[in-house]
Amino acid sequence: MDTADIETKVIQFISTKVENLDAAVIDRSSKFEDLGLDSMDTIQLLFDAEDTFGISFDSEEAKGFTSVGDIVSYIEKHQASSA
What is the Cα Rg of the chain in Å? 12
Distance, in Å, from the CA atom of 67 to the CA atom of 76, rounded to the nearest integer, reads 15
Q: How far is CA 82 from CA 17, 54, 77, in A?
A: 28, 12, 9
Q: How far is CA 18 from CA 3, 73, 83, in A?
A: 23, 21, 32
Catalytic: 38?
A: yes
Q: Which of 22, 38, 51, 58 is catalytic?
A: 38
Active site residues: 38
